[in-house]
């Protein structure tokens, strides 16, 4: 299967089974907006829950939920109004606009063209005769455009506002409040998961680049005179595959591998906090099903780094559809943001050390795009078996835990299946039900949304209290007494092997 057809296959299943589809379909859709269906909402929630478990709950970090619309002065202070811009190339024939760096990359195979600067982008467009991908027309000289949505705060057009393009500024503008809630101790962190909006010039690659998406960000505040991370030892052995800034400038494509506990000492990373969060990031993406060899961390080149960053590494995943794709950014933002908001607001952002000296905390930020992780999870989990589509999600990520079905729709079996399903719901499981078509078709539908287990109620259930549990991955089936069903399923989701749940009654089905 080619990369293009794989993406098309996943997109078709996503629409048909309710993972996601283009928004506003009845009006012809609008690029860069997608709506999530039932199974998509559940999968997104599970991915976000895993992020929260790894990055927030275990460390006792604080969460906030900040407005999407911010007054212009927030982004004036942060530098976004000056720097959050992309080069747009407009077609002289059809009038459509495109990101110039994307067009060059697609025509030439070059990477990170954005980092090469405006003059190089203009030169490459001309040298490679890059034309409009829709009508083939000539492109006008690219110009920088602001990729933030502007609005008015006030019914009669009062203050100018912008939709936030990231969640980070909410953590910085609320730093003083968070510091008080954190008992005025460093290090501490504020985290936020929420919607952001970017007025993309040319949304592309489905969920890869959107005008509205969800970002999961964390800002870790620390004293630069005491930059040690107390949890680094917990992840010190995690192997990080890095393409450093120096390697990137030299054109290297093969990463160097280093233990997280050694990355700072070897000069690859500037702070222990970066090493810690990047190790957690590797664990997180691995838990989504992505093999280690398909992950790497690539350092931004100087011309590519954001205005606030002293060092940034993108966590990238190699997809069959799109090649190496960014799913997270790990930035050392120094004290740039707090210092900028101190200047913009006139409010003191400094804190007091025990020796009486004052300083503005430094910040390390791990930032994840939920939609990209969502697609990565779909593509990584997808497989084809005996003409069936299967999403082999890790069991705790699957939208539904278990499907419960009656073997046939007569003789009291549907009523018994409803009773068994209700019991599982009461025990906290997410249960799918389906009474349409043959049992084989129902199994196939559950495979196609990634449900790990199916429970079938048949005549043995009525006569002996036995149900059959079917495994999505092996198609094997075991027999379990209904009284032990909740306990057996709980053991499975806690890591037990499927074959340990009960005696095997069927190895596989066609």
Q: For residues 138 and 150, is the Cβ–Cβ distance under 8 A?
A: no
Q: 239-243 and 256-259 as β-strands: parallel, antiparallel, unpaired?
A: antiparallel
CB hemisphere CA count around 174 (13 angstroms): 21
Phi, psi of 431 (to 5 degrees): -115, 130
Q: What angle do CA 266, 268, 269 make, to 5 degrees?
A: 110
> pLDDT for 217-258, tens place per residue?
999 999 999 999 999 999 999 999 999 999 998 888 899 999
Please, what sign has the CA dihedral across residues 106, 110, 116, 118? negative
> pLDDT for 245-294, tens place per residue?
999 988 888 999 999 999 999 999 999 999 999 999 999 999 999 999 99
| pTM as predicted | 0.92
> pLDDT for 79-101, tens place per residue?
999 888 888 898 888 988 888 88
Q: Whose structure tokens read 């407009």?
A: 90
User: Within the chain, how many helices (H) and strands (E) appear?
Assistant: 17, 27
Report the pLDDT value the prediction gives residue 253, as an integer from 0 to 100: 85
* Average pLDDT of span 407-416: 94
Q: Can you point out the beta strands (E) in 300-447? A: 311-319, 323-334, 351-352, 358-359, 362-369, 382-385, 388-391, 402-406, 431-433
Indicate the Cα dihedral angle 352, 356, 357, 360, nearest 10°: 0
CB hemisphere CA count around 48 (13 angstroms): 18
Report the pLDDT value the prediction gives residue 316, as an integer from 0 to 100: 97
pLDDT confidence bin for 418, thresholds 50/70/90:
very high
Question: Does the structure show a pLDDT above 50 at 510?
Answer: no
> pLDDT for 350-382, tens place per residue?
999 999 999 999 999 999 999 999 999 999 999
Question: Does the structure show a pLDDT above 90 at 156?
Answer: no
Query: Which domains, ranges and CATH numbers included, belong to the chain?
Result: 3-84+147-379 (3.30.930.10), 400-506 (3.40.50.800)
Q: Which of 182, 272, 201 is CA-nearest to residue 236?
A: 272
Report the pLDDT value the prediction gives residue 509, as an integer from 0 to 100: 59
Q: What percent of the chain has pLDDT over 70?
A: 98
* Average pLDDT of span 305-332: 93
- CA dist 494 and 427 (Å) reads 15
pLDDT confidence bin for 342, thresholds 50/70/90:
very high
Packed helices 370-381 and 3-17: angle between N→C axes, nearest 10 degrees: 100
> pLDDT for 17-73, tens place per residue?
999 999 999 999 998 899 999 999 999 999 999 999 999 999 999 999 999 999 999
* Average pLDDT of span 149-160: 88
């Amino acid at each position: 299967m080619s990369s293009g057809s794989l993406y098309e296959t996943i997109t078709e299943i996503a629409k048909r089974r309710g993972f996601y589809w283009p928004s506003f379909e009845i009006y012809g859709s609008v690029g860069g907006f997608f709506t999530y269906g039932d199974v998509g909402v559940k999968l997104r929630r599970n991915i976000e829950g895993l992020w929260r478990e790894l990055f927030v709950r275990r460390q006792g970090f604080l969460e906030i939920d900040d407005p999407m619309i911010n007054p212009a002065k927030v982004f004036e202070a942060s530098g976004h109004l000056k720097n959050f811009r992309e080069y747009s190339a407009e077609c002289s024939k059809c009038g459509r606009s495109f990101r110039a760096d994307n067009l060059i990359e697609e025509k030439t195979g070059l990477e990170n063209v954005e980092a090469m600067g405006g003059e190089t982008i203009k030169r490459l467009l001309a040298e490679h005769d890059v034309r409009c991908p829709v009508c083939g027309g000539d492109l006008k000289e690219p110009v920088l455009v602001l990729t933030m949505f502007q609005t008015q705060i006030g019914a009669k057009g009062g203050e100018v506002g912008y939709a936030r393009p990231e969640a980070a500024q909410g953590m910085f503008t609320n730093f003083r409040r968070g510091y008080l809630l954190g008992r005025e101790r460093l290090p501490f962190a504020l985290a936020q998961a929420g919607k952001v909006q970017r007025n993309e010039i040319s949304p592309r690659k489905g969920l890869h680049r959107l005008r509205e998406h969800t970002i999961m960000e964390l800002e870790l505040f620390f004293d630069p005179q005491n930059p040690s991370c107390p949890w680094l030892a917990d992840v010190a052995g995690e192997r990080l595959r890095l393409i450093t800034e120096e390697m990137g400038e030299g054109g290297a494509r093969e990463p160097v591998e280093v233990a997280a506990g050694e990355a700072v000492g070897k000069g690859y990373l500037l702070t222990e906090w970066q090493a810690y969060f990047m190790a957690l990031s590797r664990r997180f993406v691995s838990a989504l099903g992505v093999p280690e060899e398909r992950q790497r961390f690539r350092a931004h080149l100087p011309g590519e780094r954001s205005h606030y960053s002293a060092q940034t590494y993108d966590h990238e995943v190699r997809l069959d559809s799109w090649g190496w794709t960014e799913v997270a950014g790990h930035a050392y933002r120094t004290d740039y943001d707090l210092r900028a908001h101190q200047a913009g607001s006139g409010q003191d952002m400094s804190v007091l050390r025990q020796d009486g000296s004052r300083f503005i905390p430094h910040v390390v930020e791990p930032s994840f795009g939920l939609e990209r992780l969502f697609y990565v999870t779909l593509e990584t989990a997808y497989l084809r078996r005996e003409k069936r589509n299967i999403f082999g999600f890790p069991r705790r990520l699957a939208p539904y835990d278990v499907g419960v079905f009656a073997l046939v729709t007569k003789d009291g079996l549907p009523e018994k299946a409803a009773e068994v399903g209700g019991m599982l719901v009461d025990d906290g499981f997410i249960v799918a039900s389906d009474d349409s078509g043959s049992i084989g078709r129902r199994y196939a539908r559950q495979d196609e949304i990634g449900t790990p287990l199916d429970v079938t109620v048949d005549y043995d259930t009525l006569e002996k209290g036995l149900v059959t549990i079917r495994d999505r991955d092996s198609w094997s089936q075991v027999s379990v007494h209904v009284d032990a069903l909740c306990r057996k399923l709980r053991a499975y989701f806690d890591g037990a092997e499927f074959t340990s749940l009960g005696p095997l009654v069927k190895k596989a089905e066609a």
